[in-house]
């Protein structure tokens, strides 16, 4: 892992997800094999693979403070192309400092992470009405989780982080995805995740399938070839064959819907 300290010129960037996005790091130690943010690598000077470098924006809190004095208040997603609570955050505390500023200035803060380390900041988040904490989960099978998300927090700890946040008066929500064909899209896996979700006071649940952003298939194919070689042709059928893809997506949509209903989860948004 190559870590570099850099100085950024801007802190808040325009976002399709919210008015602004805040990313204190360029790159992500979590190195998820399906990561949609891999395309970011081409905007850096790095030759390393995604997940093997992180640039730390050491001055981002100062830059943010200047921006907050002149920008229009809006909603912010933390983070859109990295994880704000990746392991380096314990050393640099940049996301924490920016979070404190954003909340103080009255911004709506929407967090999406897969790090149980976010509980460190519950002292800042507790009871705030302008905050929602979202957690991404893909599987409760820890052997599989170590293959597809090698560095991230165990899924059970992610669920308990949401529980801890809810107990401190924080709005919590869940992002399930991406559902990987024949790995995490199984009835058993989705049912286990929904069963855990049903125990939490979630404001919403969003579910997404695998979307092939640039460089994602290359990464997934390497992972499949190493761990599940028999799945490569099956992936090609549901990702690249039009009829196969349509059939797969329709069946998956129905499967997710009926499993969620079976667990009494009505506040579910299927994003595909
Ligand atoms: S945590 Fe998010 S940004 Fe980081 S590697 Fe995984 S999917 Fe990508």
Domain end call among 108, 123, 153 = 108
The verdict on 221 and 139 lying in the same domain is yes
User: Going by CA atoms, what residue is nearest to atom 7 of ligand 1?
Assistant: 35
32 Cα to the center of ligand 1, angstroms: 5
User: Going by CA atoms, what residue is nearest to atom 6 of ligand 1?
Assistant: 32
33 Cα to the center of ligand 1, angstroms: 9
51 touches 28 (CB < 8 A):
yes
44 Cα to the center of ligand 1, angstroms: 16
Atom of ligand 1 nearest to the CA of 38: 8
Cα–Cα distance measured from residue 80 to residue 95, given in angstroms and rounded to the nearest whole number: 13
What is residue 177's three-state secondary structure?
A: strand
- By CB atoms closer than 10 A (0-12, 13-18, 19+), residue 2 is exposed
User: What CATH number is given to the structural domain containing 128?
Assistant: 3.80.30.30
DSSP conformation class of 158: H
The verdict on 118 and 104 lying in the same domain is no
The verdict on 118 and 253 lying in the same domain is yes
The label of the residue with tokens 């979700």 reads: 197
What's the pLDDT at 168?
A: 98
139 Cα to the center of ligand 1, angstroms: 15
Residue 79 preceded by cis peptide, ω within 30: yes
C-beta of 171 in contact with ligand 1 (< 6 A):
no
The pTM of the full predicted model, rounded to 2 decimals, is 0.96
C-beta of 28 in contact with ligand 1 (< 6 A):
yes
List, in order, residues 6 or more apart from 82 with CB less than 8 Å away: 23, 24, 25, 26, 27, 28, 37, 54
The verdict on 38 and 82 lying in the same domain is yes
The verdict on 139 and 227 lying in the same domain is yes
31 Cα to the center of ligand 1, angstroms: 6
What is residue 220's three-state secondary structure?
A: helix
Residues 198-246 pLDDT 10s: 999 999 999 999 999 889 999 999 999 999 999 999 999 999 999 999 9
Q: Determine the structural domain holding residue 99 and report its residue range.
A: 1-108
In this structure, what token pair is assigned to residue 154?
A: 């165990």
| C-alpha pair distances (Å), 2 with each of 10, 46, 47, 75, 157 | 23, 9, 11, 32, 27
- Mean pLDDT within 260-269: 93
The verdict on 82 and 124 lying in the same domain is no
The verdict on 56 and 135 lying in the same domain is no
Task: Decide if pLDDT at 45 tops 90.
Answer: no
Averaged confidence pLDDT in the chain: 96
C-beta of 114 in contact with ligand 1 (< 6 A):
yes
Atom of ligand 1 nearest to the CA of 149: 6
List, in order, residues 6 or more apart from 135 with CB less than 8 Å away: 112, 113, 114, 118, 158, 159, 161, 162, 172, 173, 174, 175
What's the pLDDT at 181?
A: 98
Residues 135-169 pLDDT 10s: 999 999 999 999 999 999 999 999 999 999 999 99
In this structure, what token pair is assigned to residue 29?
A: 């130690």
The verdict on 56 and 176 lying in the same domain is no
The verdict on 74 and 140 lying in the same domain is no
Atom of ligand 1 nearest to the CA of 152: 1
User: Going by CA atoms, what residue is nearest to atom 8 of ligand 1?
Assistant: 35
Q: Between β-strands 53-57 and 2-6, what pairing exists: parallel, antiparallel or unpaired? A: parallel
The verdict on 90 and 166 lying in the same domain is no
Domain end call among 63, 78, 108 = 108
Q: How many domains does the structure of the chain reveal?
A: 2
Domain end call among 58, 87, 108 = 108
The verdict on 9 and 67 lying in the same domain is yes
The verdict on 84 and 166 lying in the same domain is no
């Amino acid at each position: 892992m190559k870590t570099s300290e850099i100085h950024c010129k801007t802190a808040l960037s325009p976002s399709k997800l919210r008015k602004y996005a805040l990313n204190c790091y360029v790159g992500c130690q979590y190195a998820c094999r399906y990561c949609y943010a891999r395309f970011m690598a081409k905007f850096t000077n790095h030759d390393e693979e995604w997940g093997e470098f992180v640039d730390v924006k050491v001055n981002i809190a100062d830059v943010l403070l200047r921006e907050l004095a002149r920008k229009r208040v809006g909603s912010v997603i933390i983070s859109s192309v990295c994880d704000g609570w990746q392991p380096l955050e314990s050393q640099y505390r940049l996301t924490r400092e920016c979070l404190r500023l954003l909340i103080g200035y009255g911004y709506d803060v929407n967090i999406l992470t897969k790090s149980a380390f976010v509980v460190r900041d519950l002292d800042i988040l507790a009871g705030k009405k302008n905050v929602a904490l979202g957690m991404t989960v893909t599987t409760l099978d820890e052997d599989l989780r170590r293959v597809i998300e090698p560095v991230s927090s165990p899924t059970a700890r992610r669920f308990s982080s949401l529980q801890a946040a809810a107990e401190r008066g924080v709005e919590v929500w869940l992002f399930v995805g991406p559902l990987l064909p024949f790995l995490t899209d199984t009835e058993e896996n989705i049912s286990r995740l929904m069963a855990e979700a049903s125990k939490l006071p979630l404001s919403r649940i969003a579910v997404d399938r695998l979307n092939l952003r640039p460089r994602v298939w290359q990464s997934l194919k390497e992972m499949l070839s190493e761990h599940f070689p028999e799945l490569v042709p099956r992936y090609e059928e549901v990702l690249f064959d039009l009829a196969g893809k349509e059939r797969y997506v329709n069946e998956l949509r129905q499967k997710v819907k009926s499993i969620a209903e079976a667990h009494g989860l009505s506040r579910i948004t299927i994003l595909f």
